[in-house]
Structure 1
Amino acid sequence: MVAFARGGGSDFIARLLAVKLGEKLGQPVIVEAWADVSGNLGAELALKAPPDGYTLFLAAASYTVNPSIYRLSFDPLKDITPIAQLTRGPFIVAINPKVPANNLKELVDLAKRQPGKLTYGSAGNGSIVHMVSEYFLDTTGIDIVHAPYRGTSPTLTDAIAGHIQVVFGTVASTLPFVKSGQLKALAVTTSKRLLALPDIPTVMEAGFPSYQVTNWHGLVAPKGLPKDIQARLGKAVNEALTMPEMDSCMAQDGLTAVGGRPEEFDALLRREIRQWGALAKKRGIKAE
């Protein structure tokens, strides 16, 4: 089960994995999308299913943001059985080409000279892009006004038109506009550069060594999943992720395959829930 609309990044990863996972398990894997603004509906439905291994939930990075923003009907840690992290990748820090900044430091300097004059966009209050952006503002001490939109497409449309100046976008949604020159990329948020943009530095390389954020996906099951089924699913997922064609397919969205043990994915979830919770409290971030 996926908590976002068909055709989006999470849906793409789910369908790519479903084909390979079906081959490994010897039975079809069907993807169902239950989209809502927060992404909580799909999680709620999946995590309240019987813990028999037949219902899995593909969690995205926003999964660790939501506990600090929404009143959830489930516990995002206690009500799951982690399987494995699936992917990781960066967000792209991009600006309208008319903004007088050639690199990230120049953008920060501009924002410091003109506090409250620049505007950044996101897919809504409490979205992962909102949190990633506010984390950067908090790290650098700059004041850029938040413009919440209802989705990624209108955010990018207004960034291209110059109605807003800054956006922290996913690779899948933002890279085409960078390639076409409609947006200017200044940095990527991971510790390593993006292969598709080898000349664009990381935020850390650009002079802000304490800032690093990863966009990711992972697979969980409802709590109470038997250990043998958890192990079988984990083995199948890890084998699927190592298939040669997976890397090339994921690279289309600027992602790389991760895999690993359920304990490692559980640690990521716990770490990010604490991180985003502290940031939401400090910055006064609430859902719309």
Structure 2
Amino acid sequence: MKAEADSAMKTIRQRISRAIGAMALAACATGALAEAAYPTRPIRMIVPWPAGGSVDIATRIVTERASAGLGQPIIVENRPGATGNIGAVAAVKSAPDGYTLLVATSAMIINQSLNDSLPYNLAKDFSPVSTLVTSNYVLVVNPSLAGSVQELVSKARAQPGRITYASSGEGTQLHLIGEAFQKQTGVNIVHVPYKGAPPALVDMVGGHIAMMFPGFPVVAPLLKSGQLKALAVVGKHRLPGLPDTPTLAEAGVPGIDSAEWYGVVTPAGTPASVVTRLNDEFVKALRSPDVRQRLTSRGFEPGGSTPGAFAELIQADEKKWPVVVKQAGLHRE
């Protein structure tokens, strides 16, 4: 009887083992099929900056074409605030399945340089997909304030602590450029942080803020209408859209050269096949002549890279920005 019972138990164990194995194989096959079929539903793209800003403009131009290639809509969701941290945190908490993407910017590396307690790390908690664009900054003022960098500096020196400059938040590149401008010129101007460039520009047009260093794409319409005036380009070269506007160095303020990159990332752990599919479609979109024309006409430099090249860019900025933050006199929290 004992031998018969042992034999029966052995048979049961073998059946259970085979059933578990079959279930595991089925699960693997289902997962593989799901990856192969990706995407089967709309994709969410979190933009951690306000609608109408430079990041939002570039993202919508590129995702329109990438959506067509993927065969599913990419729904842009603006989650502004805390210099990009609110949107980044929402993305890092999402499932790593390719259905939630984030537009990362170099501002997030600056955040890491300023705050030891951020609930995410761009290099460790996200998988790079591709760079999108590079955006250049411009020194703009209310036309009633000054007609040149020299005149602006003279007025600022004559009125220490009276002239205000806006940024899209504490610790953003706009803030760091403003701090560098103060150090290079010896002026005393007052920083006024906003949740993004668009609301700051509204206050500039209204005469509540004197100057700012916004991205050219977002401020271009206001320059064209004459509501604001560009005094200098924050970069090594003049911009095609502002051929008569000097660089800061040409205007007598050397040593300030900054640009911002935007790129697509997805939560770490996203299957490699999904990242590859996303990369293919975003790079195709960025190489499309009409997308490139729409981007360059707004002052963007189109990107498009391998995930590996984007990862190297992030790693390089993780070494660069802590040095810049320290030179600007800002302190870690």
TM-score scaled by structure 2? 0.74
- Equivalent residue for 2:306, pick from 258, 261, 270: 261
Unpaired runs of 5+ in structure 1? none
- Equivalent residue for 1:74, pick from 120, 123, 130: 120
Q: CA 1:56–1:186 in 2, change beyond 3 Å: closer, same or farther? A: same
CA contact (8 A) 1:80 1:221 kept: yes
Deviates more, 1:220-229 or 1:102-111: 102-111
Q: Tell me which residue corresponds to 2:132.
A: 86
Q: In the alignment, does 2:60 pair up with 1:12?
A: no
Q: CA 1:141–1:228 in 2, change beyond 3 Å: closer, same or farther? A: farther
Q: CA deviation at 1:106?
A: 4.4
Q: Tell me which residue corresponds to 2:105.
A: 60
CA contact (8 A) 2:143 2:227 kept: yes
Q: CA 1:79–1:186 in 2, change beyond 3 Å: closer, same or farther? A: same
Q: In the alignment, does 2:278 pair up with 1:278?
A: no
- Alpha-carbon separation, structure 2, partners of 1:107 and 1:29: 44
Q: In the alignment, does 2:252 pair up with 1:245?
A: no
**1:1-25, Cα deviation, whole Å (9 max, x unpaired):** 2223344433333332222112223
Q: CA deviation at 1:37?
A: 3.7
Q: CA deviation at 1:200?
A: 0.8
- Alpha-carbon separation, structure 1, partners of 2:323 and 2:94: 31
SS across alignment from 1:84: strand
Aligned-residue RMSD, C-alpha:
2.9
Unpaired runs of 5+ in structure 2? 1-45
Q: CA deviation at 1:199?
A: 0.8
Q: In the alignment, does 2:178 pair up with 1:123?
A: no
SS across alignment from 1:99: coil
- Alpha-carbon separation, structure 1, partners of 2:249 and 2:214: 17
Q: CA deviation at 1:218?
A: 0.6
- Greater helix fraction, Structure 1 or Structure 2: 2
- Alpha-carbon separation, structure 1, partners of 2:167 and 2:238: 23
Amino acid at match of 2:133: T
Q: In the alignment, does 2:236 pair up with 1:181?
A: no
Q: Tell me which residue corresponds to 2:141.
A: 95
- Alpha-carbon separation, structure 2, partners of 1:97 and 1:15: 31
Q: Tell me which residue corresponds to 1:220.
A: 265
Q: CA deviation at 1:246?
A: 0.7
Aligned pairs, number: 287
- Equivalent residue for 1:199, pick from 224, 233, 244: 244
- Alpha-carbon separation, structure 1, partners of 2:276 and 2:250: 39
**1:130-189, Cα deviation, whole Å (9 max, x unpaired):** 223223333444332223345434533443444433211222332222222232211112
Q: CA 1:238–1:229 in 2, change beyond 3 Å: closer, same or farther? A: same
Amino acid at match of 2:121: D
CA contact (8 A) 2:176 2:328 kept: no
**1:105-131, Cα deviation, whole Å (9 max, x unpaired):** 443455455543432122343344222
Q: CA 1:278–1:183 in 2, change beyond 3 Å: closer, same or farther? A: same
Q: CA 1:160–1:20 in 2, change beyond 3 Å: closer, same or farther? A: closer
- Alpha-carbon separation, structure 2, partners of 1:264 and 1:132: 26
CA contact (8 A) 1:126 1:287 kept: no
Amino acid at match of 2:292: D
**1:201-242, Cα deviation, whole Å (9 max, x unpaired):** 222333444321113311111223343433332222111101
Percent same amino acid at aligned positions?
Answer: 37
Deviates more, 1:32-41 or 1:179-188: 32-41
Q: CA deviation at 1:282?
A: 4.5
- Alpha-carbon separation, structure 2, partners of 1:224 and 1:212: 35
TM-score scaled by structure 1? 0.84
Q: CA 1:33–1:287 in 2, change beyond 3 Å: closer, same or farther? A: farther
- Alpha-carbon separation, structure 1, partners of 2:316 and 2:181: 18
